[in-house]
């Protein structure tokens, strides 16, 4: 017994890969450059320069007012506050 599943061609991918922060962004950048298909890639970071230098088309900058576009310094509390600052942008992406 076999069956075929057809997905709409005009819709975005079912699989979404989100890289958060420097490490997550590096991982997603690598996957993207490897040419993985059928996936929507997103990166989310406080660091404006890291976002600008990424090939990922879907970018979410968080905490711009808090960090002034710089990184969170590997501080989870700063990252949490940055995400809270832009929670609507995250949800709508």
Task: Please spell the DSSP secondary structure of 35-82, one letter per residue.
Answer: T--SEEEEEEES-HHHHHT---SEEEE--HHHHTTS--TT-HHHHHHH
Element (H, E) at 16: strand 15-20
- CATH topology (fold) of 15-91: Rossmann fold (3.40.50)
Query: Which of 5 and 75 is assigned the larger pLDDT?
Result: 75
C-alpha neighbours within 13 Å on the C-beta side of residue 88: 0
- pLDDT tens per residue, range 3-51: 776 666 666 678 999 999 999 999 999 999 999 999 999 999 999 999 9
Q: Is the pTM of this model over 0.85?
A: no
- Which pLDDT score is estimated for 14? 84
Q: How far apart are CA 91 and CA 58, in angstroms?
A: 13
């Amino acid at each position: 017994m076999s069956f075929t599943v057809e997905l709409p061609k005009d819709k975005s991918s079912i699989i979404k890969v989100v890289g958060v922060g420097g490490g997550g962004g590096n991982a997603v950048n690598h996957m993207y450059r490897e040419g993985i298909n059928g996936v929507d890639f997103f990166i989310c970071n406080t660091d404006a320069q890291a976002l600008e230098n990424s090939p990922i088309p879907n970018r979410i900058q968080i905490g711009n007012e808090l960090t002034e576009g710089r990184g969170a310094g590997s501080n989870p509390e700063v990252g949490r506050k940055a995400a809270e600052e832009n929670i609507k942008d995250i949800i709508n992406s």
